[in-house]
Amino acid sequence: MILLQQKNQLAKVMETNEMSARYGLALTEQEAELLVSERIQTLRAERRVEFGPGILPRVIEEFCDSDFIDQNNYVDTLIRLQEIFYLYKNEMHDEISDEELLHFMKEQFEEVCFGDLGYLEGTCLRIFAEAVRAGYRGYQASEGYGEYGAFDEVKRWDRELYLEALYDLF
């Protein structure tokens, strides 16, 4: 039964190649097998049980158009994103849906972290998880989009302010 489930998961992961190929990304069967085996290890490490194809096909769908993922780092990035996803599902006590968490992760990965998985995990998601554990539920209305600004501890660069300051100098 376990082998049949793994075979089904492998097939679902391989099906994502149809979509990801548009962005120059594709998995070989060996890479897909590695991802499925990493999923099993991550689920054990995080003490989670999951039925069906798992989160990996949805991670691929959400992130395959990223400016920060290319064929050279594709598999390693997917492994890491999968680990981060399960870690923070636990950290947020499953209060957040898979879609909300994926949307939040992708938005921060692209716009705040600029592809830095360490910053995504260690800063953005850590801060957001603290808010969720403290009772914050605003992400439900936005489906996880546009949420980090309310919790961001780092003052971000403001283009309009920069242009105004530059104009004042000259």
Give pLDDT, residue 91: 93
How many domains does one find in the chain? 1
pLDDT in tens, the chain (170 residues): 455 566 778 888 899 999 999 999 999 999 999 998 888 888 788 888 776 668 899 999 999 999 999 999 999 999 999 999 999 999 999 899 999 999 999 999 999 899 999 999 999 999 999 999 999 888 887 877 877 776 766 655 566 766 777 788 87
CB 98 within 8 A of CB 143: no
Give pLDDT, residue 8: 77
Task: Quote the tokens at residue 65.
Answer: 């158009």
Could you tell me the pTM of the whole model?
Answer: 0.82
Alpha-carbon span 118 to 48, nearest angstrom: 22
Alpha-carbon span 89 to 55, nearest angstrom: 11
Domain that holds residue 128: 2-169
